[in-house]
């Protein structure tokens, strides 16, 4: 059984709003329109995709929802600095279908550097959300003092804190239907990309998903934190998660 807490909030966060996609608008255009180019805070991207593996991921997260319906979300990633070409923005992620293959994931503790343009297609990736966290990106991207490595670099060398490569293999076994592999989330084994982001942010002093243990993190938990856990951050004199979302696809029961 997955141990998850419920928020005490009576209403959704007013800082996290719906922004409908315009006709013909791709995901990069939607992100730019909703503040992608702002230079404050840390940006987190939620994606809900179509396809075999995304379907299984979205259904696997239904255990976090009180009505047991499939999640809108199949993936989460951290965004690097946004330049003149937003589609080329670096994503820090652990994808189950990386365009260049997995190579040897142990050398980076599973961390992949992708491109935002990979998720540009609004038909293939109909659900999208942009979260802005009150954490300066330099906190996890840059060394704190001379002679030290950054939180991002330390994560890749410190598998004793979170072994994302092990998580990756467990989830691939489940997603590919290997042997008797069950849903890792029910054993508190989070979806790798979400667990990686939690590890980075925790090391930076920020709790992204108060509802469950960091190692059990998943895109659905990130979504619930943005929508419902604003009182938690307010009680700690912290700004709530800000952002926008659009959900154009729901898996019908």
pLDDT at 3: 77
pLDDT at 148: 86
What is the phi-psi region of residue 188: left when phi exceeds 0, alpha when psi lies from -120 to 50, beta otherwise?
Answer: left
Size (the chain), residues: 253
Q: What is the pLDDT of residues 1-44, one digit of tens each?
A: 677 888 888 899 999 999 999 999 999 999 999 999 988 899 99
CA distances from 61 to 5, 29, 201 (A): 15, 28, 22
pLDDT at 60: 97
Q: What is the pLDDT of residues 232-246, one digit of tens each?
A: 998 888 889 999 999
pLDDT at 133: 96
| DSSP 3-state of 119 | helix
Sheet (strand 112-115) strand order:
16-18, 242-247, 127-133, 42-48, 75-79, 90-93, 112-115
Report d(CA 251, CA 241) in Å as an integer.
26
pLDDT at 236: 87
* Beta pairing partners, 91: 79, 114
Half-sphere exposure of 216 (CA within 13 A, CB side): 19
Report d(CA 202, CA 41) in Å as an integer.
15
pLDDT at 1: 61
* Beta pairing partners, 124: none
What would the DSSP string read from start to end of 12-79?
A: --TTEEE-PPPTT--HHHHHHHTTTT--SSEEEEEEE--SHHHHHHHHHGGGGSTT-PPPS-SEEEEE
* Beta pairing partners, 113: 92
CA distances from 195 to 3, 15, 76, 117, 222 (A): 16, 24, 10, 23, 11
Nearest Cα neighbor of 20 from 93, 129, 146, 123 is: 129
Query: Which residues of the chain register pLDDT less than 70?
Result: 1
DSSP state of 210: T
């Amino acid at each position: 059984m997955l141990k998850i807490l419920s928020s005490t909030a009576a209403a959704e966060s007013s800082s996290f709003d719906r922004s409908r996609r315009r006709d013909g608008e791709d995901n990069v255009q939607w992100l730019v329109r909703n503040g992608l180019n702002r230079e404050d805070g840390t940006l987190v991207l939620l994606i809900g995709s179509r396809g075999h593996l995304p379907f299984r991921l979205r259904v696997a997260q239904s255990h976090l929802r009180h009505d047991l319906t499939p999640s809108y979300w199949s993936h989460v990633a951290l965004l690097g600095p946004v330049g003149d070409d937003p589609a080329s923005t670096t994503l820090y992620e652990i994808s189950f279908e990386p365009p260049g293959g997995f190579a040897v994931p142990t050398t980076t503790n599973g961390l992949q550097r992708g491109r935002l343009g990979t998720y540009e297609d609004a038909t293939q990736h109909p659900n999208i959300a942009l979260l802005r966290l009150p954490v300066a990106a330099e906190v996890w991207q840059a060394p704190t003092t001379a002679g030290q490595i950054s939180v991002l670099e330390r994560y890749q060398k410190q598998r004793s804190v979170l072994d994302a490569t092990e998580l990756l293999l467990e989830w691939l076994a489940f997603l590919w239907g290997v042997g008797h592999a069950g849903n890792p989330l029910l054993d508190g084994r989070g979806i790798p990309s979400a667990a990686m982001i939690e590890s980075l942010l925790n090391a930076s002093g920020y709790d992204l998903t108060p509802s469950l243990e960091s190692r059990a993190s998943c895109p659905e938990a990130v979504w619930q934190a943005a929508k419902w856990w604003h009182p938690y951050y307010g009680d700690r004199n912290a700004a709530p998660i800000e952002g926008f979302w659009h959900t154009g696809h729901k898996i019908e029961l």
